[in-house]
Structure 1
Amino acid sequence: MVLNFTKIDSIPVLPKRQNNLNKFSTYIMLTNQNNQLVLQWKHQPSLQRNLKLYEEKHDYFSNLFCHQGKGIDVANFWRKVAFDESQLIADWEPSNKIQLAYEHLASYFEEKCYWAAKDLCKERNANSWEEYLCIARLLIYNPLKLKEILVKYNSQSANLDTYITNILTNHIKFSAEVNRFSRWRLLYKKSEKELKEALKVFGIIEPEISLIIFARKYFKQVYLINKVKNPTRTIGKKWIAPDEEDFEKSAQCYNAEKVLPTAPHEVFTNSTKVTAKQIQDWMEICIKALESYPMSILPKFSLDALQLDGFEVKSELQVPEIEWEKISSTEDTREQGFLANQANSILSEQLQSMKLDDRKILLLYYGFGLNQKQLADRLEMNQSTISRYLTKSTIKLLEAIARISQPQQWVKQYIRRWLESEYHAPVHSDLIQAALVSAIKKLVNEEREILQLYYGEQIDEIKIASQLGISLNEIATRITRARNILQEKLMQEVNIWIKEYLEKWLGNYYKSIIKLVLKNEDKSGKKELKLEEKIFLVEIYIQNQLY
């Protein structure tokens, strides 16, 4: 729900949240519509899931939650969860329930931030409403500060809503009076990861995100020297706004560095020179995004402190696992699944066709984790012989996968299609596209230049030849050479991925067999089996599978 400005004071109206689900799982989002600032409530899916979980599993909470007029009672419930760190965690509760409790409280207090900021603006007749709102939200989204505030709460003196409103009002007054807050300091201090996340939520997409992040890098350098470290600035004084000279110098640095191999791919492929006005506009977008998104408002030092205090903080770094679909040329999900199943089937068949000695070595190496020296000692063989056995077996399996994936048939077409359609804004989380971006950065200057002109700026070959002062044949030769280099580099990466896939597959395959065979033994109540006994049982199982 979105409402327009009030006629009284031009501060945007905050839409009402109709139920407890919204009151404890949404945050304020500032957006521009028709050149006017409007407020929206944005949902946090993780908080919604947690509320529904407690509603289903916790009877007392469910009774509170269904009464929409008891939002303050629900808030007090989460306050108790946040404080009672010694209580046991039920089987159904999330391990990070204390962290989620603080997030529910911050969501609930969003309205208090709005009204505290608005009332102060009316009282002081100031034009600092957005700044006041951000000061308040910085406080409630800092779990350590919020904990400190809630510890001092006395339910006999005032209800929780009144107490928090008074705290926020006093905090905004204090911060504003001593010039502790600056939107430019907020922009300067936030990490690249936080800013990127905030921009995405704000609706900015690639390649503009990469351009903005790159611009902020040079703006920070200029702003630090010209304003923050300026000898005329008193230490502790509010960070002042940058001026036109700062934006102009930032644009000069941006344009000078964008052509270097170290620049992000999206920046290099954008041939347009940026202006001081563009840098200024981008920095304003950054500030709006950071002010709007609570996860980016959360200070990094608080996350570090939370970890020291035993809180569980969600990792933002997701390490992609090697999946068969990543090395598939097709974009059809069903076909990808078919290829994955086909790989499993063919690899299983190949293993069953191997000699028993070869399979035994693979079992001990991938299943039980014995290294080559341990294998050699156990089987009374030379370590070099063990190495040859492993190499021979894995080559046979690799050849089987290669017959399915056939990279030599799809890589060339994939590269041509990618250059034509996704060169400007590659998906870096995609292994293939990330490999191509890395390969482009390693090309010599003339090869990078030809790709940029032909695929980036989409200039035809005749104009490129005229611009570079070379023949059409040379243009075609350079384009072909650049594509061939990318093809060679991608083939090398695909071969590495296939090998990694096989290593992972073999580990999972043999460990699953071991787990299956030993499952009944573990349940029998007998003492832990020795390694020799485990190996013997698994070998018997594998031999029986062959007949």
Structure 2
Amino acid sequence: MQPRQSIIEIFSTFVQFDADRFSRWATESRLRRSIQGCLQKIPKENSEYFWVLYWYKFCQDSATASLAKQHLTAYLQEPCYWTSQKTCAGFASSQFKLSDCFQIAIAQVERVLKGFNPSQSSTLKNYASLIFSTAIRETLRQRQEVDICSDWGLLRKTSQKRLEESLQNTGLSPETVRAYILAGNAFKTLYVPSKASNSRQLSRPDDTTWEAIAKFYNSQSSQPANPETLEKWLLSAAKAVRKYLYPTPDSLNVSKGGDDGFELLDNLPGTQESLINEIVAQEEAQARTQQQGEINQILTTAIAQLEAQLQEILQLYYAQQLNQDAIAKQLDMKQYTVSRRLTKAKEVLLRSLANWCKDSLHISVTSDLLKSMSAVMEEWLQNYYSASSH
């Protein structure tokens, strides 16, 4: 991929794929005109960080949020691409292609912009990369589980709440949803496979079991159904669950409306005042940079003081990006033991960070602050071990 150089390109172009490989940067003409207009008013301002804060601010205003979001979506194309490439490579057996992972990730832009806080996160790119990576991993792992399970195994693993959400997502009437859920409950109650059976690859229930399922269902419903109908319903329910758990990703890069549609540039409120505010924000950012250096030192020292096994688990989890099951196998321990020790390691690091805030910044540590610090620490761990792996 050829990196973008100018501010105009960075905030107005999108990745185009060809045969699952990067092809070119495609320009969105409305965004290009928008950023050109802004640069004409402030020709000397060529700081990428400045324009990120500029558009992020306008994301908070409903009148300008759409345009600002499109500019920032363009801006996040590169971290989205590199994160997708790195994460996808870790799932060699996945049927997902790089372009699929890219679309899964870029669909999280709304979540990124909602959760990003310039005063707490280092940069929008780093924060977005964390969200993108998490979203791709969750989807791929979920998809792998869905692919492995037979329809009957999937139904046994699906909770009633998830089943209800999946059925509602298909647009079925409330009455039909209730009937399907009742059928699902009858299936789970009457079809109890032996312990020796593979829970993921359950086979179809035998005819005797289907008769029992139908009898159970009819005792609970005023609208009787025969075994064939119930089997058809349950297969449809399994299909609905698969679709719900693995929706087709839609690109946010597609422009809605014609190329010469509405223009928001002339309606941006308080442009000059906002620019002054952002310049002040840049000065404040220098102070944050110093604090981030101190945070880096605090957490690096805290990691070095952890038990050797806790350090190894962090290394495997963040640097090698292994899940807890894989770590458990490698270290010959139970998955729940890995989970507990990973949690313990994070608690030690969070305690060090909280003490630093209390002693250096003279801030009272509240539950809300701990939650924010936990997010900052998670981002830091991702970046720290990513850098060490290279």
Instruction: Say whether the fold is shared (TM-score over 0.5).
Output: no
Compute the TM-score of the two structures, normalised by the length of structure 1. 0.28
The higher-RCO structure (CA 8 Å, 6+ apart) is: 2
Compute the TM-score of the two structures, normalised by the length of structure 2. 0.38
Structure number with larger C-alpha Rg? 1
